[in-house]
Structure 1
Amino acid sequence: MTSDPQQDWQRWHERRTAQVSAPHGPLSLTGTYWLADHPDGHIPGVPGVWREEGDAVVLTATTEDGITVDGKPLTGDVRLGADHTPIPESRVATGDRRLVVLRREGLWAVRDFDPEAPTRHVFTGIEATPYDPRWVLPGTFRPYEEPHSVRVENADGRERGLGLSGELAFMLEGAEHTLQVAVEADGSLWAVFADATSGHGSYRFRFLRPAAPAADGSVTVDFNRALLPPCAFAAHFICPLPPPGNTLPFAVAAGERNVLAG
């Protein structure tokens, strides 16, 4: 961090662009395959045989499949749990591709991250509004007595639970507005929101990730750092849509807006 917020934002924007365009960044996702949709264990274009077995996925491979697990060639069976490491460190690989095991609400899936994905090679940048200090607002986090989950539609058209821990309140032009938020493992907040620009100058919804609130609940709400969700970069992500109440009644002319491709 420097003493120049605009310079800090520019560096943040450059880091974001580098992260999403990295060999195994979100632009490289070529598929999310739910094993329930492939009962014979064969995933189109993905080597090996994948099947659910209780609390794990069993992967069966031959030498011809060219699969490695933990950097070693796999011949036979291996039991896999859900991956929780950065994509480049995932256990299963085939060449430069990373095959990531995913679990959501008891269902298992395999994600294929391929550095040669067309979306990665046509990417030219992230359209973002230049830094504007007017979109840095003081806020207050108000935790719920008990966290709860609501059902929301996801980007793939399926409905799933979204955990919520409280609300983030802030003032804009004399009026109070709130967003329902989750609390991440490191204490930071996460909101899925839409606004008057959603689908009209910016992607249909965005994420906001404020830092962990202070002991008194105070937190900075910086819409300059509004983020495009992963599904804006590749259609195979299953991002949740905004929960009820998280569509702001004004235009948030700040932050990331759209993916640029040539």
Structure 2
Amino acid sequence: MSDDEATTAWRRWHEQRVATVSAPYGPLALTGTHWLSESVPEDLEGRIPAVPGRWRAGADGVLVSACAEDGLELDGKPLDGEALLAADAGRPADSRLAAGEVRLVVIRREGEWAVRTYDPGSAARRAFRGIEATPYDPAFALPGRFRPYGEDRTVQVENADGRARGLGLGGELLFEYGGARHALHVAVDADDGSLWAVFADATSGDSSYRFRFLRPGTPGPDGGITVDLNRALLPPCAFADHFICPFPPPGNTLPFAAAAGERRLKGALVAGN
């Protein structure tokens, strides 16, 4: 691919990213993550503040009960009774459960259940002015190689909500920049073998958000893969405080300025917020 073609492809990617995050039920619409072990004290009898219905976590899912006055709809029909919900696997816009325009999404993390609320009228979505991103620079599209560990590893890392959780890693992404060799510890998707990294660099917390994501795709049979920092992504927690994004694991802070890709929200006064 020529530099002109790569620039055009990057521009389309950036436009699609802006459209995706600003969609009615995109990341900007998240208004709450309610952990059932914390948000449902016994004296509230299963009530989550600002969320209709009554909720209870079980071994096999989340039990929600509601009456017609609660205004909940399940699969497009009023919920008047009980329903057992598994974790949502699709987009928030496709959630089975709704309260008016708000979508309710069930998630599970390390055995704990939570209910997320997505509101297209959220303050974050109304205030969104775009994503500040550096135009495509071919110097940041680097040849790399994936080196698997041979067995999966899990490291405990702090998350954006202040809790430490396990982050599964499957290998290293190796590449060179500025005459030096670098490596990022990466997760490997069990379905398609694609790679994912959470990393920081010399711009983090200054001219870029405090950390970013990179999804370089699936390596070839020989492990070859392009490490394109032009497609560095803002993590979901850059758009809403209620996401629980993991921070970079040890070793994933690059010593150089990766002045490429998505940097921060337009209008952000502090890059790490």
Alignment deviations for residues 172-229 of structure 1 (CA, whole Å, 9 cap, x no partner): 1221100000112222110000001000110000000001000000000000000000
Which residue is equivalent to 2:97?
92
Looking at structure 1, the residues matched to 249 and 106 of structure 2 have their Cα atoms a distance apart, in angstroms, of 27
Which residue is equivalent to 1:247?
253
What is the deviation of 1:53? 2.1
Which residue is equivalent to 2:140?
135
AA aligned opposite 1:130: P
Looking at structure 1, the residues matched to 22 and 192 of structure 2 have their Cα atoms a distance apart, in angstroms, of 25
What is the deviation of 1:67? 0.6
2:201 to 186, 195, 200: 195
AA aligned opposite 1:36: S
Looking at structure 2, the residues matched to 211 and 158 of structure 1 have their Cα atoms a distance apart, in angstroms, of 29
Which residue is equivalent to 1:208?
214
Percent identity, please.
Answer: 63
Which residue is equivalent to 1:149?
154
Map 1:12-23 to 2 at 5 A: 12-23=13-24
Alignment of 1:164 with 2:169, yes or no, is yes
Looking at structure 2, the residues matched to 177 and 119 of structure 1 have their Cα atoms a distance apart, in angstroms, of 36
Looking at structure 1, the residues matched to 11 and 215 of structure 2 have their Cα atoms a distance apart, in angstroms, of 17
Looking at structure 2, the residues matched to 160 and 115 of structure 1 have their Cα atoms a distance apart, in angstroms, of 29
Decide whether the 8 Å contact of 1:188 with 1:213 is kept in 2. Answer: yes
Map 1:63-102 to 2 at 5 A: 63-102=68-107
User: SS of the residue aligned with 2:249?
Assistant: coil
AA aligned opposite 1:146: E
What is the deviation of 1:261? 4.7
What is the deviation of 1:60? 0.5
Decide whether the 8 Å contact of 1:48 with 1:65 is kept in 2. Answer: yes
Which residue is equivalent to 2:178?
173
What is the deviation of 1:54? 2.1
After TM superposition, where is structure 1 displaced by more than 4 Å over at least 4 residues in a row? none
Which residue is equivalent to 1:5?
6
AA aligned opposite 1:169: L
Ranges in structure 1 where 5+ consecutive residues have no aligned partner: none
Alignment deviations for residues 118-143 of structure 1 (CA, whole Å, 9 cap, x no partner): 00001010000111000000000000
1:259 to 255, 261, 265: 265
AA aligned opposite 1:61: A
2:115 to 96, 110, 128: 110
Q: Pick which of 135-144 and 46-55 moved more.
A: 46-55
Looking at structure 2, the residues matched to 5 and 54 of structure 1 have their Cα atoms a distance apart, in angstroms, of 48
Q: Pick which of 180-189 and 138-147 moved more.
A: 180-189
Looking at structure 1, the residues matched to 194 and 153 of structure 2 have their Cα atoms a distance apart, in angstroms, of 17
Aligned residues: 262
Decide whether the 8 Å contact of 1:24 with 1:88 is kept in 2. Answer: yes
AA aligned opposite 2:73: T
User: SS of the residue aligned with 2:201?
Assistant: coil
